[in-house]
Structure 1
Amino acid sequence: MLCLGIETSCDETALALVRDKRLVGQKLASQERMHALFGGVVPELASREHLRVIGPLFDALLAETTTRAEEIEGIAVARGPGLLGSLLVGLGLAKGLAISLDRPLVGINHLVAHLLAPGLEQELDFPALGLVASGGHTQIGLLTSPFAVSWLGRTLDDAVGEAYDKTARMLNLPYPGGKTIDALAQFADPDTGLLPRPYVDNQNLDFSFSGLKTAVARIVADNPRLVAPVMEAEPDIPELAASRPGLAELCASLNWSIASTIRLKLRRAMARHPEVKALIAAGGVVANSCLRRELAATAEECGVRAVLPRMELCTDNAAMIAYAGSVYLEAGYAHGMDLDAVPRGKPLPDDFIRVS
């Protein structure tokens, strides 16, 4: 099956073609520079930019892969969770193509697609424990199959990516904050007593990073020399680390606090579900070097396989939507034209139509 995937859940406009569960081609338009002006994603601007670029991106994808629209056999679209206006742009294109080409349509859970994305490169073992760590989500799920995911823990306030972005804003570092903070962290060792491991003195699998943000704010308020004098889109990381004593250590300590918190929760989940065979991690924050090391160490310690996608598959992309779509469509799962977008904070309904 040749499946088209459409991803517009936040600030990346992406389209991809997957044939027989292997990537044929992908086109992506990033809005990073535009939203960097505001220190975070502005929903109205994001949806307008999706609308502006999605048509030309589709044409470019077909041209680059020498594919005719009529060759597409199935259409998959991210239906949520995400920004409602952004999701509706992708959903509009998906429905229009499904009607005009008379092809099956399936709406994909953006978070599940993240966890299935490594299937583009390797076989996935089930049952598996899954972690989604991104700008909008920090969730742990139990995957008994590609079609059955139960969420065991979620973020109660700030997602892990928000913690990075808000810290970067305090330090006058560019958006997205995680990339710059991780780069600065390479120039120091963490002080494991500087920042707390937030929301771990309990027995649940949920996350809360708002307290960590508050702890960082207090340190920055007491040490204004940590703040970069000018926000640069591409800062000179070695120079910045050298000119701001303590900045690299704070970044390394933040990395440690977040990664060790996630590791503790994952070990707790593993102990409750000894049947799992793999730990799958996805989402933009999984590109963080410290977190990747902690995830690999956690999997080894628990005797399961670590499944960490390459960097390009960590962030929002359409390849994961196309891959998940091909898996679902080939198994007989689809949606009708009444498919709705589901914004962040609302559960996605199990409303698939079984087709032969």
Structure 2
Amino acid sequence: MLCLGIESSCDETALALVEDGRLLGSVLASQSDVHALFGGVVPELASREHYRYLGPLFDELMQRCGTEPDSIDLVAVARGPGLLGSLLVGVAFAKTLALGLGASFLGVNHLHAHLLAVGLERDLTFPALGLLVSGGHTHLYRLESPWRCLQLGRTLDDAAGEAFDKVGKLLGLAYPGGQLMDALARAGVASPGLFPRPYLDNDNLDFSFSGLKTAAAAYIERNFGSAQWPRPLRRIEDAPESLRNCCASFNAAVVETLCAKVERALKRHPDLRRLLVAGGVASNSLLRKRMTELMRERGGDALMPSRALCTDNAAMIAYAGWLLGSAGYRHDLRMETIPRGRRIPDDMFCAASCASKLQTD
């Protein structure tokens, strides 16, 4: 089965082809330079950029892979969560393409696709614990299969990636701040008591990083009000020691909070020996190190995709689509797009089951 994946949930326009579980090729157009002018993603601009890029990117992908459009068996697209306008552009393109080519159509949960992305590089086995850490979400899942993901905990306000980017902006770092904060943290020394480990005084598996962001903002105002460094800061060499140490301390607070909740989830689900870590923040160096150590101590393993597959990409959409499509799952063209903040319904139908039922009847 040849599956085309389309990703347009936020500010990355991407397409990829996966055949029989193998990535044939992918193309991506980043909008980071456009949104950097505003210090964050502007939804209206993101939608317009997706509309501008999708057609040319599709042609480029076909040419790169030496593939004819009519050989596509399944068109998979990120249906949500994400920015509604951005999602609508991608879904409309996918539906039109599927209809025109006579291909099957499938809407993919963007969050679940992140968790499955490592399957392009490593063998996936289930059940597994999934930690999704991105700019918009910090969630814990129990994955029974590629199509059965049970949510155990979720972000209640600011996600971990959002906290990184907002604190990075307060520090005057170039957008997006999270990546540069990781680099600065590696060059600094963390002070364990400088920032709190938020929302751990409870017995649940949810996350809340708004308090940590507020504590960091207060610290920055008190200590860096008159500090001088190039703004926006783009190079580690231009950062003073105090700034590097601040980033290291903030980084440690976020990572240790994530580790604490993962340990809590593993205690409640002792049968889980595999951890899947995904999302943009999964590229964080300290997080990758600590999660690997945590699972090794428990006699299990932590799987994390390469950094290129941590950020939003179409390869994960195409791979998730191939997994679900190979099991017979589809949508019809009435499928709704789901923005951030709404639960994505389990409304796929299994074409294989329907065919079997018709034969029986």
Please classify the TM superposition score into its range, dividing by the shorter chain length. over 0.9
Structure 1 letter corresponding to 2:133:
A
- For residue 251 of structure 1, the aligned residue among 247, 250, 255 is 247
Aligned length: 352
Distance 1:245 1:334 in 2: 54
Q: Give secondary structure in 1 for the equivalent of 2:140.
A: strand
% same residue: 54
Q: Give secondary structure in 2 for the equivalent of 1:246.
A: helix
Query: Residue 302 of structure 1 aligns with which residue?
Result: 298
Query: Residue 204 of structure 1 aligns with which residue?
Result: 204
Deviation of the 1:277 alpha carbon: 2.7
Contact kept, 8 Å, 1:14 with 1:29, in 2: the verdict is yes
Deviation of the 1:275 alpha carbon: 1.1
Query: Residue 235 of structure 1 aligns with which residue?
Result: 234
Provide TM-score, normalisation by structure 2: 0.95
Q: Give secondary structure in 1 for the equivalent of 2:199.
A: coil
1:56 aligns with 2:56: yes
1:47 aligns with 2:43: no
Deviations 1:74-132 (A, max 9, x none): 11000001111000111011101110011110100001000111111121121100011
Distance 2:235 2:102 in 1: 52
Alignment of 1:131-146 (within 5 A): 131-146=131-146
Deviation of the 1:301 alpha carbon: 2.1
Distance 1:262 1:208 in 2: 11
Distance 2:16 2:36 in 1: 25
Q: Give secondary structure in 2 for the equivalent of 1:129.
A: strand
Q: Give secondary structure in 1 for the equivalent of 2:344.
A: coil
Query: Residue 340 of structure 1 aligns with which residue?
Result: 336
Distance 1:228 1:170 in 2: 13
Alignment of 1:1-356 (within 5 A): 1-224=1-224, 229-232=229-232, 235-240=234-239, 244-356=240-352
Contact kept, 8 Å, 1:270 with 1:302, in 2: the verdict is no
Deviations 1:168-187 (A, max 9, x none): 11111111111111111122
Distance 2:226 2:71 in 1: 55
Q: Give secondary structure in 1 for the equivalent of 2:94.
A: helix
Distance 2:278 2:301 in 1: 14
Deviation of the 1:299 alpha carbon: 1.1
Provide TM-score, normalisation by structure 1: 0.97
Q: Give secondary structure in 2 for the equivalent of 1:9.
A: coil
Q: Give secondary structure in 1 for the equivalent of 2:15.
A: strand
Q: Give secondary structure in 1 for the equivalent of 2:156.
A: coil
Query: Residue 358 of structure 2 aligns with which residue?
Result: none
Deviation of the 1:40 alpha carbon: 1.2
What 5-or-longer segments of structure 1 have no aligned partner? Answer: none
Q: Give secondary structure in 2 for the equivalent of 1:93.
A: helix
Distance 2:60 2:30 in 1: 15
Deviations 1:125-174 (A, max 9, x none): 21100011011110000001111101101110001111011101111111
Distance 1:17 1:91 in 2: 17
* C-alpha distance 226-249 of structure 1, shift in aligned 2 (>3 A): farther
Deviation of the 1:10 alpha carbon: 0.6
Contact kept, 8 Å, 1:125 with 1:277, in 2: the verdict is no
Structure 1 letter corresponding to 2:35:
H
Contact kept, 8 Å, 1:2 with 1:74, in 2: the verdict is yes
Contact kept, 8 Å, 1:173 with 1:228, in 2: the verdict is no
Distance 2:68 2:273 in 1: 40
Contact kept, 8 Å, 2:129 with 2:140, in 1: the verdict is yes
Structure 2 letter corresponding to 1:265:
K
Q: Give secondary structure in 2 for the equivalent of 1:79.
A: strand
Distance 1:226 1:308 in 2: 40
What 5-or-longer segments of structure 2 have no aligned partner? Answer: 353-361
Q: Give secondary structure in 1 for the equivalent of 2:115.
A: helix
Distance 2:209 2:310 in 1: 21
Distance 1:224 1:86 in 2: 37
Distance 1:227 1:92 in 2: 48
